[in-house]
Amino acid sequence: MYIIGENIHIISPRVKDALQAKDARFFQGRAVAQVEAGAQALDLNLGPRKKDWEEIFPWMVETIEAVADVPLSFDSTNIMGIEAGLKKVTKAQPIINSTSAEPERLEKVPLLAKKYNTRLIALTMGASGIPVAADARVTIAIEKLIPRMLEIDFPISDLIIDPLVLTVSGCQEYCPELIETIRTLQVAWNPPPAISVGLSNVSNSVPQENRSLVNRTYCAMLMGVGLNTMIGDPLDTKLKDTIRIIEQRDDSTPVGRLYLKIYDRIAAMETPVIDDVDINDPDQAAIWKTVQILLNKVIYADAYLQLA
C-alpha cells in the first residue's frame, strides 16, 4: 500500500496554529514522523491561503524538503498557491491534489500538472456534485477526466483517479458504491489509471474511538477490489497492521483470518456472511458490525457497536 500521509491538514487546530506561527519545526516533525511510519508521500492541505499563498506555499516546500525526500501532494483549491509551491520543489515528482470534472478546474489544473511534470489526482465529481452510483462515477472518469488528459497529452501513467470516499455517518449509501467504483475503474481503461482514495473520510463525524476500526475495515474491503494507494494516517498502527495482514496473507490470528476472509469475499464479488465470523469474539463481532454498516445493510448510528 502506497500511503500518502494525511497529517498535515488545516482542519487540525494544531496545524492551523503552527501555520499561523510559521512553526517550521512543527511541520518538519509531522513530516518526519509520517515518513518514518511508512508514508511514501506527504499530503499538504493548507487551505486556500487566499491572502498569503505567495509566501506560505514555497515556505512549506522548503520547510518539508529540508527533512524529507518523498513526493509532496499539494492539496488545495488555490491554483496559484500550488504553482508557487511547485516552483520551489527540488526533490521528488510532486502531486497535485486535485482536479475534478468541473469544467473550470478540468480546464486549468491538468495544464499546470503537465507544465510542472507532476502526478495529478482527479476526482470523479462533476459540476452537479458527487454521484452515488458506481457507474456514474466511472462514467465521469472515462468520459471527462481521461479524455481531458489525452487531449493535452498528459501521461495517463501520472493520472490518479480518486473516486471519493464519503462518510458512513450520513452518506452511508455511498460506501458500497465506492467499492464497485474501484472494481470497475480498473477495467474501464487500458492501461488502467492509478486509483487513490482519502480513506479517513469514511469515518468523518464518527466518534473518535471508532474511527480507526471503521477506517481499517473499509481499507480491507477496498484492498479486495485492488486499492493500492491512499491518502491515510500512517501513524495508525492498527490500520497499518491490517494492511500488513492482507499484503502478507498473515492468517496466524483469528482477526487476521477474518480480515483475509472479508478481503477474499469482496475480491470474489461476494458478500461477507455471518458464518465467516466468530461472533463470540468481541473483536470479530465489531469488525462484522462495521462491515454491515459499510455495506449499507444496517443503518449507521454512533452507538452501532453496542447493538447485539
User: Residue numbers of the site for other proteins (CB under 8 A)?
Assistant: 169-170, 172, 297-303, 306-308
Least CB distance to other proteins at residue 168 (A): 9
DSSP 193: P
Least CB distance to other proteins at residue 308 (A): 8
Smaller CB separation from other proteins, 187 or 299? 299
Smaller CB separation from other proteins, 8 or 213? 213
Least CB distance to other proteins at residue 238 (A): 24
Least CB distance to other proteins at residue 305 (A): 10
- 128's CB contacts (< 8 A; 6+ apart) are none
Residue spans of alpha helices (H) in the chain: 13-21, 24-36, 53-65, 79-88, 103-115, 134-140, 146-151, 174-185, 208-224, 237-248, 254-267, 282-294
Smaller CB separation from other proteins, 127 or 307? 307
CA–CA gap between residue 25 and residue 35 (Å, rounded) = 15
Least CB distance to other proteins at residue 209 (A): 15
Smaller CB separation from other proteins, 40 or 292? 292
Is the torsion defined by CA of 106, 109, 111, 113 positive or negative?
A: negative
The grid coordinates of residue 120 equal 495529478
Q: How far is CA 82 from CA 45, 48, 179, 242, 301, in A?
A: 11, 9, 30, 34, 39
Smaller CB separation from other proteins, 66 or 307? 307
For residue 197, the cross-strand partners are 230
